[in-house]
């Protein structure tokens, strides 16, 4: 049955992608087929082999260690403000982003992260043939996140075709940055978080290759200038490393501030969205309806198609819809409240589904980020905003279906 629901989930996503394709006749089905095979092998390796499970456990322990280290600074600065008998979301989940952002800044400073991005992107392109830029961007988003990742191709954005803009935007919505992993791992099972990050790289490209097919040409993608870019996590500025380089301790300070900005931004969004959800819930309650249950019924068929047992489909569907309407953090908080009531299979599928930025708010962030670099290109992205949201959501469905194969 696991295999059957994995197939139905993937076929459902591919069918919807095909129906909304910009150019059905140009689709090269060999590309998504190859990437689906890679995902199957990846899931089986990570979840069903000793080496794979060891990697997942090690990465989970690594990020747990980072959280504990970050708590030293948090405890010193905030001291008695902490809730010693409970958990304060901002202090325990969001503020560790500051320390993790500093680590990413260090990896950037010593050219370790750019090295990984360059050669992993090169390998992905050799396998998928999606194009050098598309492959580079797919791996970059899983390292840097958005909107920061758009700055690494700042000079190229004005020259990109509408088709390439769609592909890179889909990758930006489907991937999550390393800086966020520690926060996610405090709310979801670490092994699902790590696996989802890897699956999403290919899921975004699979959907893009169907909704947005076009012949790729590596010659038009001049990535040579990227070797000179130095980007701090969360930074709003890109600097070209020519005569001088940002001093190490200045980079540390900038990265820490950038991480704090991300934490504050997420906190503000949560304040707004959770309050908005509560207001909507109360309004529906006044007319005798349960809003979360209602949206759960709408998404229940999709939850069932990707492998969630029908008895749990409404609850799972409610979480899926919440993520789309608000963001992944709001959905994770709701998911934590009901996770113990759900089967292990449902917990795994929904956990993987939640690891992406596929929501209405992110569309606005991406449009704004590209518009800030080039107004005309930003307008192009705005013109296919809903199809972009659809593509990113379908990518999450593919990843969630894939993890069901081993649950």
pLDDT of 17: 95
Strand-pair partners of 229: 240
Question: Rounded mean pLDDT of 280-302?
Answer: 91
Measured CA to CA, the distance from residue 351 to residue 30 in angstroms comes to 29
- Please determine, for residue 240, whether its predicted confidence score (pLDDT) is greater than 80: no
Measured in degrees and rounded to the nearest 5, phi and psi for residue 230 equal -130, 115
- pLDDT on residue 242: 41
Q: Tell which wins on pLDDT, 41 or 292.
A: 41
What does the block give as tokens for 113?
A: 């992260």
Position with higher pLDDT, 231 vs 304: 304
Scanning 326-359, the segments in alpha helix (DSSP H) are 328-338, 344-354
Q: In the predicted model, is pLDDT for residue 147 greater than 50?
A: yes
Residues with Cβ within 8 Å of residue 80, at least 6 apart in sequence: none
Asked whether residue 309 is domain-assigned, the answer is yes
Region 238-265: mean pLDDT is 74
- Is pLDDT at 225 greater than 70 in this prediction? no
In contact, 179 and 101? CB cutoff 8 Å: yes
* 148 in Cβ contact with 370 (< 8 Å): no
Grade residue 219 by pLDDT with cuts at 50, 70 and 90.
very low
Q: What is the pLDDT of residues 110-126, one digit of tens each?
A: 888 888 878 888 888 88
Checking if the pLDDT of 259 tops 60, the result is: yes
Which segment, 25-29, 65-69, 213-217, 351-355, is predicted with the most confidence on average? 351-355
152: nearest Cα among 370, 379, 363, 358: 370
Please report the DSSP string for 260-296 in residue order. HHHHHHHHHHHHHHHHHHHHHHHHHHHTT--HHHHHH
1 inside domain: yes
SS3 381: helix
What is the rounded distance in angstroms from the CA atom of residue 65 to the CA atom of residue 72? 11
Residue 262: count other Cβ atoms within 10 Å of its Cβ. 22
From residue 366, alpha-carbon distances to 10, 87, 238, 246, 311 in Å are 26, 32, 17, 27, 37
> 286 burial class (0-12, 13-18, 19+ CB within 10 angstroms)?
exposed
The arithmetic mean of pLDDT across residues 401-405, rounded, is 94
> Is residue 84, in this structure, part of any structural domain at all?
no
**Per-residue pLDDT at 108 exceeds 90:** no
| Percentage of the chain modeled with pLDDT above 90 | 35
Which of 9-23, 79-93, 358-372: highest mean pLDDT? 9-23
Whether pLDDT at 14 is above 90: yes
**44 located within any domain:** yes
Distance CA 241, CA 238 (A): 10
Determine, yes or no, domain membership for 82.
no
pLDDT value at position 223? 55
pLDDT at 349: 96
Both tokens of 80, joined, read 């008695």
pLDDT at 244: 58
Burial readout 312-345 (b: 16 or more C-beta within 10 A, e: otherwise):
bbbbbbbbbbbbbbbbbbbbbbbbeebbeebeeb
Q: Is the pLDDT assigned to residue 237 strictly greater than 80?
A: no
pLDDT band at 80 (very low <50, low <70, confident <90, very high): low
pTM recorded for the entire structure:
0.85
pLDDT category of residue 232 using cuts at 50, 70 and 90? very low
Note the pLDDT tens digit of each residue in 305-343.
999 999 999 999 999 999 988 889 889 999 999 999 999
Name 174's Cβ contacts closer than 8 Å, sequence gap at least 6: 141, 200, 201, 203, 204, 207, 356, 357, 358, 392, 395, 396
**Token pair 């569907």 in the structure block, residue:** 317
Backbone angles phi, psi at 239, to 5 degrees: -120, 145
DSSP 8-state class, residue 240:
E
Instruction: Evaluate whether 140 touches 121 at the Cβ level (below 8 Å).
Output: yes
Looking at residue 246, its pLDDT comes to 78
pLDDT at residue 373, as a whole number: 80
For the chain, the average pLDDT equals 84
pLDDT band at 84 (very low <50, low <70, confident <90, very high): low
Q: Alpha-carbon torsion 91, 94, 99, 100, what sign?
A: positive
The CA-CA-CA angle for residues 188, 190, 143, to 5°, reads 105
Q: Per-residue pLDDT averaged across 68-77, rounded? A: 84
Query: What's the pLDDT score for residue 211?
Result: 94
Residue 240 located in a structural domain: no
More confident residue, 77 or 195: 195
Residue 277 inside a domain? The answer is: yes
pLDDT given at position 314: 94
Q: Which helix (H) or strand (E) holds 130?
A: none
Would you give the DSSP letter of residue 93?
I
**Which residues form the domain of 4?**
1-75+89-233+251-404
What is the number of structural domains in the chain? 1
Does residue 245 belong to any structural domain of this protein?
Answer: no
β-strand pairing of 239-240 with 229-230: antiparallel
The model's confidence at residue 221, banded by pLDDT at 50, 70 and 90, is: low
Residue 229 is predicted with a pLDDT of: 45
The average pLDDT across 381-398 equals: 92
Greater pLDDT, 227 or 185:
185
> Are the C-beta atoms of residues 154 and 120 closer than 8 Å to each other?
no
């Amino acid at each position: 049955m696991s295999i059957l629901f994995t197939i139905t989930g993937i076929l459902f996503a591919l069918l919807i992608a095909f129906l909304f394709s910009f150019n059905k006749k140009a689709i090269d089905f060999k590309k998504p087929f190859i990437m689906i095979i890679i995902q199957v092998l990846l899931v089986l390796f990570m979840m069903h082999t000793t080496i794979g499970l060891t990697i997942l456990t090690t990465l989970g322990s690594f990020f747990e260690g980072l959280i504990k280290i970050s708590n030293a600074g948090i405890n010193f600065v905030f001291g008695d403000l902490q809730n010693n008998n409970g958990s304060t979301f901002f202090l325990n989940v969001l503020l560790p982003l500051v320390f993790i952002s500093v680590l990413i800044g260090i990896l950037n400073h010593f050219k370790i992260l750019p090295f990984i991005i360059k050669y992993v992107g090169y390998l992905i392109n050799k396998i998928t043939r999606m194009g050098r830029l598309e492959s580079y961007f797919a791996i970059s988003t899983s390292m840097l996140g958005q909107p920061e990742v758009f700055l690494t191709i700042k000079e190229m954005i004005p020259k990109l075709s509408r088709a390439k803009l769609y592909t890179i935007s889909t990758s930006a919505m489907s991937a999550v940055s390393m800086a966020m992993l520690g926060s996610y791992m405090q709310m979801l099972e670490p092994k699902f978080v790590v696996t989802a990050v890897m699956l999403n790289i290919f899921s975004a490209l699979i959907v893009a290759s169907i909704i947005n097919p076009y012949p790729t040409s590596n010659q038009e993608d001049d990535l040579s200038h990227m070797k000179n870019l130095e980007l701090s996590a969360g930074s709003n500025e890109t600097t070209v490393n020519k005569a001088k380089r940002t001093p190490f301790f200045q980079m540390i300070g900038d990265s820490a501030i950038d991480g704090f900005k991300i934490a504050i931004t997420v906190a503000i969004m949560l304040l707004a969205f959770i309050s908005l959800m509560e207001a909507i819930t109360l309004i529906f309650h006044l007319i005798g309806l349960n809003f979360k249950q209602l949206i759960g019924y709408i998404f229940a068929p999709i939850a069932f198609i990707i492998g969630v047992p029908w008895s749990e489909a409404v609850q799972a569907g409610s979480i899926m819809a919440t993520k789309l309407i608000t963001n992944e953090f709001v959905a994770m908080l709701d998911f934590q409240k009901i996770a113990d009531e759900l089967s292990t299979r449902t917990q795994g599928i929904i956990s993987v589904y939640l690891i992406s930025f596929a929501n209405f708010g992110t569309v606005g962030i991406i449009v704004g980020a590209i518009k800030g670099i080039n107004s005309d290109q930003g307008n192009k992205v705005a013109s296919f905003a809903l199809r972009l949201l659809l593509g990113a959501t379908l990518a999450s469905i593919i990843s969630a279906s894939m993890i069901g194969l081993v649950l």
